Structure 1
Amino acid sequence: MSVAPAISVVTAARNMERFAAETIRSVIAQKQAGDEYLFIDGASTDATLAIARGFGQAIDVLVSEPDAGQYHAIAKGMARARGEILCWINADDVLMPWTFAVVREIFARFPEIDWIIGTPAYLSASGQLTRIQSKLPAYPRRFIANGWYRRALGGYLQQESMFWRRRLWERTGGLDLRWRLAADFELWTRFAEHAELVAVDVPLAAFRERPGEQRSSAQAADYDAEVEAICRQKPAPPLPWRWLARRGVVARSLCRGLISCHGAALVHDRGRGGWRKLARRRSLARVGWGRLADEWLAARGVS
């Protein structure tokens, strides 16, 4: 195993006083020597900056100034990051307490891996862990590069649980700031041209669901429109998939469960300890049929 790499985490925030402290604590609680946390505040008019300042030197870089939006702030933070492993987390999401240890071990043990994603997990607005999508899927490079991991097809990828090597960021040039809302989606399409996205069999972060408040819900239609613009010059998915994708959530879930590809995943070996990389055919589904049925019934108030 090679030397454990240093990790740099960037948070971009503006007027996030309700959640910023929880996000910050989730990062700084697990930092080791060489790791760094960069907090880029977009000239907040609430208490966000004061909250961040309250953590003192636990935040390695703290900047507060007007910017051109979230991705501009993230790019600004990444330009100052020095770690070998990079990620960003929004100021209402959280890292899991074990994340740095898992990420560090994986990247040290598997030098050929450049990009990983944890099991998707979700928080309520009040901070309760509400669900974990525990099925290990395939993340085919071609599908990501073609933009097929969008809402009606493979489903969007969970950004806050991704970590990647600096060399991948530098090779692709980082975020394309021409895209105001979907620069993350566009970045994944370029990442996939150079690296496989490898699934990790534990949650690494949790996305806080705040329906109607956050950009992912309040501006969902605008985000989807940018995604469509990004994908306009890319290969279209097979016609049967496109046809079923227009038939609603059940049909989309059926497609994800039936489409299978060769994919790698990292699973912890409980007998010998440590992570093992396993490659086999897997479906695109991140949720099993039983869990889908439970979520469908819960959404309709069936007990």
Structure 2
Amino acid sequence: MPITNSHPFLSIITPSLNQGKYLEEAIQSVKIQNYPAYEHIIVDGGSQDETLAILEKYANDPSLRWISEPDYGQSNALNKGFQMAKGDFIGWLNADDRYAPGCFHIVSVFLQSHPEVDVVYGDYCFIDKLGKTISLRLEIDFDPFILRFLHVLYIPSTATFFRRRIFDNGHYLREDFHYAMDYEFFLRLSLQGYKFAHIRQHLADFRWHGLNKSSLAPHKQWQEQERALQELDPLFSKIKNPIQYKILRYLFLNLARAKRTWLKLLRGSYWRKLCP
């Protein structure tokens, strides 16, 4: 993939609430990209830990903007950031995650080379609360069938970037979704014809530390995912008979699971022990 001399402006949005122990690592992972045209917008929900002290350290950094005020949850915070963003491409980095070195250049070159692509995502590492690598997650290329029916969200928000036109067209996160807002957003964009692409490179690190939403309330996450499918999917939104719904849902779930397993086997990508 050739490197160009053009550097489209990137906006990175970080929602934050009492994640001060990880926030500076997230900030530094943006700064070490050595990318000349970016802004980092941190939308804090009124943290009571060391977050504000950390943000104050960057008061003279023109590339970092932040606000701290009560909000209505992560989706609301992200939407504030998306509305503030000035970038051609926009990334979503949670306060406890981090970017891999070189991520911005990889994404910039790819999106310039593929103007038809609206959403791009990459591979990522799982890290623990101390930042130690657990494993590398090599994901599958985009498959709308698997996205719709499996509910194993293989598009990691922390390694995903959006073209500005998505937000210019009025697409934002649903603020009544608190556990599966990313799934609902990706499903909605996919069903409306936006084009997704996968970069087979390590772009970011996702931190497991016991307080992740997916760890604390997996049943609520599943309920919201299922609700999104029922509201958005052209097939399942029309099924009124609960028995018929359960039978078809079970069938499509297992077809999607089998397809994902096969695709990951083809790539040899279930797990690797260490990231590069």
Q: TM-score, normalised by structure 1?
A: 0.76
Unaligned runs of 5+ in 2: 237-244
Which residue of structure 1 aligns with residue 240 of structure 2? none
Q: Is the 8 A contact 1:120 1:133 kept in 2?
A: yes
- Which letter does structure 2 place at the counterpart of 1:150? H
Residue 166 of structure 2 aligns to a residue in which SS? helix
1:46-66 per-residue CA deviation (whole Å, 9 max, x = no partner) reads 111111221233353110111
C-alpha deviation, 1:102, in angstroms = 0.6
The equivalent residue for 2:241 is none
Does the CA-based 8 Å contact 1:2-1:108 persist in structure 2? no
1:78 aligns with 2:82: yes
- The offset of 1:231, in angstroms, is 1.1
Letter in 1 for 2:260: R
Matches within 5 A, 1:38-49: 38-49=41-52
Query: Which secondary structure state, in structure 2, belongs to the residue aligned with residue 67 of structure 1?
Result: coil
- Superposition deviation, residue 115 in structure 1: 1.3
Alignment of 1:105-254 (within 5 A): 105-134=109-138, 137-141=140-144, 143-144=146-147, 147-151=148-152, 155-192=153-190, 193-211=192-210, 213-233=211-231, 234=233, 235-236=235-236, 242-243=250-251, 254=258
What CA deviation, in whole Å up to 9, does each residue of 1:108-127 have, x standing for no partner? 22222221110132111110
Counterpart residue type for residue 88 of structure 2: E
| Aligned amino acid, residue 151 of structure 2 | R
**What SS does the aligned partner of 1:202 have?**
strand
Paired residues of 1:85 and 1:163 also in contact (CA < 8 A): yes
- 1:86 CA drift (Å): 0.5
Tell me if structure 2 keeps the 8 A contact 1:138–1:284.
no
- How far residue 220 of structure 1 moved from its aligned partner, in angstroms, is 1.4
Is 1:94 the counterpart of 2:98 in the alignment? yes
CA distance in 1, matches of 2:246, 2:100: 37
How far the C-alpha of 1:210 sits from its partner, in A, is 1.6
The residue number in structure 2 matching 1:300 is none
Q: Please, which moves more after superposition, 235-244 or 158-167? A: 235-244
Q: Secondary structure at the match of 2:202?
A: coil
Query: For the Cα contact (< 8 Å) 1:160–1:207, is it kept in 2?
Result: yes
- 1:4-52 deviation digits (Å, cap 9, x = unpaired): 3110001010111110110111012225443100011111111111112
* 2:5 is the alignment partner of 1:7: no
Secondary structure of the corresponding residue to residue 9 of structure 1: strand
Cα deviation digits, residues 244-278 of structure 1 (max 9, x gap): 957xxxx98644223xxxxxxxxxxxxxxxxxxxx
User: Any conservation in 2 of the 1:149–1:157 contact (CA below 8 Å)?
Assistant: no
Q: Is the 8 A contact 2:149 2:252 kept in 1?
A: no
Q: Which runs of 5+ in 1 are unaligned?
A: 259-282, 296-303
Structure having the higher helix fraction is 2
Bigger RCO (CA 8 Å, 6+ sep):
2
1:168/1:244 CA distance change after superposition, 3 Å: closer
Measured on the aligned residues, the alpha-carbon RMSD in Å equals 2.9
> C-alpha displacement at 1:241, in angstroms?
8.2
